[in-house]
C-alpha cells in the first residue's frame, strides 16, 4: 500500500526590493521598500549589486541614477534585519553592494526625503548628487555608539571642508537639501519631488560624452586620491595611451572636424 503524500503549497516569490527601468541610455535604479523607508537589508544589498552589474554589462547604458521609492532615499541599515543576523553588505562591495564597489560608469544619486546613515553613505558612493530641497542628509551613528563605517567617516571629509564634515559626524545632526547644496554635497538642488527628473537630465548630459573617456576620468580620480603626483600622472599616462588608440578618440576628432555629433561605440 502506498503512503499518501502531503500536497505542497507552491511558494510565491518575494517581490523585488530594487526596481530598474531603462530610460534612454540611463538605468534608473529604485530602492523599493517604502514601508521600511528603503532601509537596506540583505535582499536590498543583493538586488542593488545585481542592478549595478546590469548597468556595467550593457554597452547601451551609459549612466545610472539611484533613488528610493515613496519619497525617501534610504533610512540606512535595516536594524531589525541586522538583529535577525542579516548582513546589509556584499563581500568586496561593501554596504548595500555599493559603498566599496568601483562602478566604471557614472552613477547619480537622486535624493528625496531621508538619506540617513547608510543611506547617506550610498549617496556619497555616487559620482554626482541631486537633492530635493527638503531632503535630509545625516550620519546619526554616534548616537547609537557606532561610527559611519560604510564610507561616511572616510568620504565626507574628502567631499567638504574638515570642520564642516566633523560637525555632521560628531553631532549626528542632519542637513537639508539646500544646506547640502551650500556645502557642495549636492550638485543640483530641486523642489520637492523633482530630484529624479533632474538627475535623469544630468545623466543624459553626461552620457553625451565618450564612454571610454568617462570611465577613464573615474579611474584617474580614484587612483589620484591621496597618491603622489608622480604616481597619479604615471597612471594617467598609461590610460591616455589606451584612449589615444581607441576608435572613440578618432570619432570625436572626426565629428568635431565635420561639425556633427559624435557616434560613440565604446571601442
Whether residue 204 lies in the annotated active site: no
Whether residue 121 lies in the annotated active site: yes
* Catalytic hit among 102, 121, 173, 208: 121
Integer Cα distance of 201 and 219 in angstroms? 24
Q: Could you give the maximum distance between any two Cα atoms of the chain, in Å?
A: 86
* Catalytic hit among 47, 141, 197, 204: 141
Task: Just list the catalytic residues.
Answer: 121, 141
Amino acid at each position: 500500500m502506498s503512503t499518501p503524500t502531503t500536497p505542497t503549497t507552491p511558494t510565491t516569490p518575494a517581490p523585488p526590493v530594487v526596481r530598474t527601468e531603462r530610460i534612454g541610455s540611463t538605468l534608473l535604479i529604485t530602492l523599493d521598500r517604502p514601508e521600511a523607508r528603503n532601509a537596506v537589508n540583505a535582499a536590498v544589498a543583493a538586488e542593488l549589486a545585481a542592478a549595478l552589474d546590469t548597468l556595467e554589462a550593457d554597452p547601451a547604458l551609459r549612466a545610472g541614477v539611484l533613488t528610493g521609492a515613496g519619497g525617501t532615499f534610504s533610512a540606512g541599515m535595516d536594524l531589525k534585519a541586522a538583529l535577525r543576523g542579516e548582513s546589509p553588505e556584499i563581500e568586496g562591495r561593501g554596504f548595500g553592494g555599493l559603498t566599496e564597489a568601483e562602478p566604471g560608469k557614472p552613477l547619480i544619486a537622486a535624493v528625496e526625503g531621508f538619506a540617513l546613515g547608510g543611506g547617506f553613505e550610498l549617496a556619497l558612493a555616487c559620482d554626482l548628487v541631486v537633492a530635493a530641497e527638503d531632503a535630509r542628509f545625516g550620519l546619526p551613528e554616534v548616537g547609537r555608539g557606532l561610527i559611519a563605517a560604510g564610507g561616511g567617516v572616510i568620504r565626507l571629509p574628502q567631499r567638504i571642508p574638515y570642520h564642516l564634515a566633523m560637525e555632521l559626524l560628531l553631532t549626528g545632526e542632519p542637513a537639508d537639501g539646500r544646506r547640502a547644496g551650500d556645502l557642495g554635497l549636492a550638485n543640483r538642488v530641486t523642489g520637492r519631488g523633482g530630484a529624479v527628473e533632474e538627475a535623469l537630465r544630468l545623466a543624459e548630459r553626461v552620457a553625451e560624452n565618450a564612454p571610454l573617456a568617462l570611465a577613464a576620468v573615474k579611474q584617474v580620480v580614484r587612483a589620484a586620491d591621496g597618491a603622489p603626483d608622480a604616481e597619479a600622472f604615471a597612471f594617467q599616462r598609461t590610460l591616455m595611451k589606451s584612449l589615444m588608440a581607441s576608435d572613440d578618440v578618432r570619432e570625436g576628432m572626426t565629428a568635431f572636424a565635420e561639425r556633427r555629433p559624435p557616434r560613440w561605440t565604446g571601442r
